[in-house]
Homo-oligomer: A and B are copies of this chain.
Amino acid sequence: MTEPIIFYDIPSKDSPSKAWSPNTWKTRFCLNVKGLPYKTVWVEYPDIAALIQKIGALPTDVNDDGTPYYSLPAIYDPNTRTALADSAAIVRYLDRTYPATHRLVPAHTDALHAAFGRGYSSLLTLSAIIVPQTVHLLPPRSAAYFRTTREAYYGKTLEEVSPPGSARRAELWAGVDKAFATYATWLAAGGVEQRFFLGEDIGYADVTIASILMWMRVVFGEESKEWKDVTTWDGGRWARHAEVFGKFEAVDVGEAAEI
């Protein structure tokens, strides 16, 4: 490997000190855990589709109206001339292409990791709490795009989705607590409490959880009631999980995308 990988991330108002997106954090953690050289290019929300098309990656999903859905993270690896979107595809590409680095989806865990992705997200009632606050972290163009698309999705203003102090918000937050409690039971399913999903080695499932924790820490803030709750759940295991990933949370200055 001679040239750094280009890693496309979504900026916050305070980039690079605050990278916030749980989806792009999955890839950033993967790159950092593997110790692969990379350079961040910050792409504002309204530019994501054009950027993905420009680098030649594929859409990651299909919109309800049948049009392609483009999303970050994406990478361009100049060493292999590969453009790729979707964090789950990217981690497998990195495992395969750089076999001397820490493998995050070990042999025979591909399908179970894919099932994990559905399992953890099906329980997590976080979005309706955190999305309305995430908008305040974004630079103006991205904030406007984010607000328009998310308000169309929810069918109400972001401020109406789960207002602080509302019963709805309390119910959703109890759901997040319960989801993490369930993750803790998964980690003890073998009869002993495992440190990571694969035992003693960090894997992609752990990266996924760490990315959700990072989203909460950045959006709610370390002094928030929410983050304090998180750090007490399940005997402090999520605080320890975040701490382990503290070694892998470096964010480079990077540069703004040219579209």
Contacts and interface: CB of A to CB of B under 8 A. Distances in A.
Of A88, A109, A205, most B-chain CB atoms within 10 Å? A109
A187 interface: yes
A109 B109 contact: yes
14 contacts: A88-B189, A92-B189, A111-B186, A111-B187, A112-B205, A114-B185, A114-B186, A115-B115, A116-B116, A116-B119, A117-B119, A118-B186, A119-B122, A122-B122
A175 B193 CA distance: 35
Interface residues of A, number: 33
Given A111-B189, A112-B198, 13 more contacts: A96-B191, A105-B190, A109-B112, A111-B187, A112-B116, A114-B185, A114-B186, A117-B119, A118-B120, A118-B123, A118-B186, A119-B119, A122-B123
Interface in A87-113: 88, 92, 96, 105-113
A82 interface: no
B119 A205 contact: no
A62 to B, nearest CB: 13
A128 B234 CA distance: 34
A127 to B, nearest CB: 16
A197 interface: yes
Nearest to A93: B191
This chain: how many copies in the complex? 2
The 5 closest A-B pairs by CB, nearest first: A110-B190, A119-B119, A122-B122, A114-B186, A112-B112
A194 interface: yes
Interface in A117-160: 117-120, 122-123
A254 to B, nearest CB: 29
Contacts of A194: 110-111
A140 to B, nearest CB: 37
A249 B26 CA distance: 42
A244 to B, nearest CB: 16
Contact of A182 (B113, B118, B185, B191): B118
A164 interface: no
Contacts of A189: 88, 92, 110-111, 113-114
B112 A197 contact: yes
A111 B203 CA distance: 11
A199 interface: yes
B205 A115 contact: yes
A158 to B, nearest CB: 26
